[in-house]
């Protein structure tokens, strides 16, 4: 009998363990719904995070574009203002150049003084990043040069500049004044 009681108790213990395992394996219907709700909430939060991240990236790109655009506008405004101011000084530079060309028989001190003025103007233009262009022998470019006349020449090729009547000036790629030239046929 003691053996039967022991076996009966062992059988009951195994039955209880089997019931516990069965309870663990089968989930209650409420738990499954809660897991689905949790997954749905995680998914919606991930979508919201992605949307906020996209919004942030777009804002950062907009700011970067704004910063670059304003920097370019500042440079453009500076170049425009410098160009307008230099336009008023270009006749002086032309007069100094013509004076040097016509002072061949003048006193050496006078020539030296006019050359000094021309050098000072050249340095001022360099500081303002203004470059002159249009020299004899350069290739004619209608976007840079104004052709006043055409001439035949044995020394220069067709399309080259034969004479410069007025030097052209520019700041970077922006033309302040086109060069007035004579072109070879």
Please state which of the ranges 2-11, 52-61, 76-85, 93-102 shows the lowest mean pLDDT: 2-11
**Which backbone phi and psi does 160 adopt, to 5 degrees?**
-95, 160
Domain boundary among 128, 150, 167: 128
Structure tokens at 87: 């336009």
Q: Kindly state whether residues 49 and 124 are assigned to the same domain.
A: yes
| 1 three-state secondary structure | coil
- Pair (81, 121) in one structural domain: yes
Q: Is 144 found in the same domain as 120? A: no
Note the pLDDT of residue 139. Answer: 93
Residue 3 domain flag: no
Adjacent-strand bridge partners of 50: none
CATH number of the domain where residue 61 is located: 3.90.20
Residue-number span of the structural domain to which 142 is assigned: 132-185
Q: How many domains does the chain have?
A: 2
Which pTM was predicted?
0.60
Q: Are residues 122 and 140 in the same domain?
A: no
Domain end marker among 128, 161, 177: 128
**What are the pLDDT digits (tens) for 105-122?**
889 999 999 999 999 999
Instruction: Report the alpha-carbon distance of residue 117 to residue 146 in Å, rounded.
Output: 27
The structure tokens 């989930």 sit at 27
Q: Looking at residue 2, what is its pLDDT?
A: 59
Q: Which of 177, 143, 172, 169 is nearest to 76 (CA)?
A: 172
Tokens found for residue 132: 């002159």
Verify that 77 and 137 share a domain, yes or no: no
Q: Which of 111, 128, 145 is the last residue of a domain?
A: 128
Q: Residue 6 domain-assigned?
A: no
89 and 158 both lie in a single domain: no
Q: Are residues 106 and 119 in the same domain?
A: yes
Rounded distance, CA 158 to CA 175, Å? 25
| CATH label of the domain that carries residue 185 | 2.30.22.10
* 120 plus 179 within the same structural domain: no
Please state, in angstroms and as integers, the Cα–Cα distance from residue 109 to each residue in 92, 94, 99, 101, 113, following that order.
20, 20, 14, 15, 6
High-pLDDT (> 70) share of the chain, %? 85
């Amino acid at each position: 009998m003691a053996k039967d009681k022991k076996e009966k108790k062992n059988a009951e213990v195994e039955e209880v363990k089997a019931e516990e395992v069965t309870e663990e394996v089968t989930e209650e219907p409420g738990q499954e719904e809660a897991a689905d709700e949790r997954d749905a909430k995680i998914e919606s939060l991930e979508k919201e995070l992605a949307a906020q991240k996209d919004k942030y990236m777009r804002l950062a790109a907009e700011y970067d574009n704004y910063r670059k655009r304003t920097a370019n506008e500042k440079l453009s405004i500076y170049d425009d203002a410098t160009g307008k101011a230099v336009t008023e000084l270009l006749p002086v530079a032309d007069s100094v150049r013509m004076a040097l060309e016509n002072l061949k028989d003048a006193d050496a001190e006078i020539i030296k003084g006019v050359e000094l003025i021309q050098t000072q103007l050249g340095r001022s233009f360099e500081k303002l990043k203004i470059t002159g262009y249009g020299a004899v022998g350069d290739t004619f470019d209608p976007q840079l040069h104004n052709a006043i006349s055409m001439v035949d020449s044995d020394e220069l090729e067709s399309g080259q500049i034969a004479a410069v009547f007025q030097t052209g000036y520019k700041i970077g790629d922006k033309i302040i004044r086109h060069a007035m030239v004579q072109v070879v046929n």
